[in-house]
Amino acid sequence: MARFSVASRASFRSERVRVSARISISVTVRSLGRARGVHDDRLVAELSQYSSHADLLDLGATLDRYADEDTAEIREILGRRPSVVPSTGGIA
Protein backbone atom coordinates (compact mmCIF):
# COMPACT_ATOMS: atom_id res chain seq x y z
CA MET A 1 0.00 0.00 0.00
CA ALA A 2 1.25 3.48 -0.82
CA ARG A 3 0.05 6.81 0.48
CA PHE A 4 0.49 10.06 -1.41
CA SER A 5 -0.18 13.46 0.13
CA VAL A 6 -0.21 16.85 -1.56
CA ALA A 7 -0.69 20.17 0.19
CA SER A 8 -1.08 23.51 -1.55
CA ARG A 9 -1.94 27.11 -0.75
CA ALA A 10 -3.56 29.60 -3.05
CA SER A 11 -4.61 33.19 -2.61
CA PHE A 12 -6.15 35.99 -4.64
CA ARG A 13 -6.43 39.66 -3.87
CA SER A 14 -8.23 42.48 -5.56
CA GLU A 15 -9.43 45.85 -4.35
CA ARG A 16 -12.56 44.43 -2.76
CA VAL A 17 -11.93 40.69 -2.43
CA ARG A 18 -9.36 38.59 -0.67
CA VAL A 19 -9.54 34.82 -1.01
CA SER A 20 -7.19 32.39 0.65
CA ALA A 21 -7.37 28.60 0.54
CA ARG A 22 -5.41 25.63 1.78
CA ILE A 23 -5.93 22.37 -0.03
CA SER A 24 -4.77 18.99 1.16
CA ILE A 25 -5.29 15.76 -0.77
CA SER A 26 -4.35 12.33 0.51
CA VAL A 27 -4.64 9.20 -1.63
CA THR A 28 -4.06 5.62 -0.56
CA VAL A 29 -3.33 3.02 -3.23
CA ARG A 30 -3.59 -0.69 -2.58
CA SER A 31 -0.93 -2.86 -4.07
CA LEU A 32 -2.01 -4.63 -7.23
CA GLY A 33 0.59 -7.32 -6.61
CA ARG A 34 -1.56 -9.45 -4.35
CA ALA A 35 -0.72 -13.10 -3.89
CA ARG A 36 -2.25 -15.21 -6.65
CA GLY A 37 -5.61 -16.61 -5.62
CA VAL A 38 -6.22 -13.98 -2.93
CA HIS A 39 -9.19 -11.78 -3.81
CA ASP A 40 -11.08 -8.96 -2.22
CA ASP A 41 -14.01 -10.56 -0.35
CA ARG A 42 -16.31 -7.70 -1.40
CA LEU A 43 -15.60 -8.37 -5.07
CA VAL A 44 -16.24 -12.11 -4.65
CA ALA A 45 -19.52 -11.37 -2.85
CA GLU A 46 -20.64 -8.89 -5.48
CA LEU A 47 -19.84 -11.23 -8.36
CA SER A 48 -21.75 -14.05 -6.65
CA GLN A 49 -24.93 -12.04 -7.24
CA TYR A 50 -24.57 -12.60 -10.99
CA SER A 51 -26.15 -16.01 -11.30
CA SER A 52 -28.71 -16.07 -14.10
CA HIS A 53 -27.72 -16.73 -17.70
CA ALA A 54 -28.81 -13.20 -18.68
CA ASP A 55 -26.74 -11.66 -15.86
CA LEU A 56 -23.66 -13.58 -16.96
CA LEU A 57 -24.14 -12.60 -20.61
CA ASP A 58 -24.37 -8.93 -19.61
CA LEU A 59 -21.31 -9.24 -17.40
CA GLY A 60 -19.41 -11.02 -20.18
CA ALA A 61 -20.29 -8.28 -22.67
CA THR A 62 -19.08 -5.66 -20.21
CA LEU A 63 -15.80 -7.49 -19.54
CA ASP A 64 -15.18 -7.87 -23.27
CA ARG A 65 -15.02 -4.08 -23.60
CA TYR A 66 -11.84 -3.99 -21.50
CA ALA A 67 -8.36 -5.43 -21.88
CA ASP A 68 -7.87 -8.96 -20.54
CA GLU A 69 -5.20 -7.75 -18.13
CA ASP A 70 -7.72 -5.33 -16.59
CA THR A 71 -10.40 -7.99 -16.14
CA ALA A 72 -8.20 -10.97 -15.25
CA GLU A 73 -9.10 -10.95 -11.55
CA ILE A 74 -12.82 -10.87 -12.26
CA ARG A 75 -12.53 -13.64 -14.85
CA GLU A 76 -10.51 -15.74 -12.40
CA ILE A 77 -13.15 -15.36 -9.69
CA LEU A 78 -15.92 -16.24 -12.14
CA GLY A 79 -13.87 -19.18 -13.41
CA ARG A 80 -13.98 -20.78 -9.97
CA ARG A 81 -17.73 -21.05 -10.21
CA PRO A 82 -18.81 -24.41 -11.67
CA SER A 83 -21.18 -23.07 -14.33
CA VAL A 84 -19.05 -20.15 -15.54
CA VAL A 85 -16.11 -20.46 -17.92
CA PRO A 86 -14.02 -17.30 -18.37
CA SER A 87 -12.69 -16.56 -21.82
CA THR A 88 -11.52 -13.62 -23.83
CA GLY A 89 -14.62 -13.98 -26.00
CA GLY A 90 -17.20 -13.64 -23.25
CA ILE A 91 -18.64 -15.70 -20.45
CA ALA A 92 -20.50 -18.88 -21.30
pLDDT tens sequence across 21-45: 888 887 766 655 555 556 678 888 8
Phi, psi of 18, rounded to the nearest 5 degrees: -135, 120
Band of residue 92 on the pLDDT scale cut at 50, 70, 90: very low
pTM: 0.47
- State residue 89's pLDDT score: 53
pLDDT tens sequence across 77-88: 888 876 544 455
Domain total in the chain: 1
Residue 52 lies in a domain: yes
Cα Rg of the chain, angstroms: 22
Query: Rounded to whole angstroms, how far apart are CA atoms 71 and 56?
Result: 14
- State residue 33's pLDDT score: 55
pLDDT tens sequence across 38-79: 667 888 888 888 888 888 888 888 888 888 888 888 888 888
Residue 89 lies in a domain: no
What are the C-alpha distances in Å from 35 to residues 39, 47, 73?
Answer: 9, 20, 12
Residue 87 lies in a domain: no
Domain that holds residue 22: 2-31+38-79
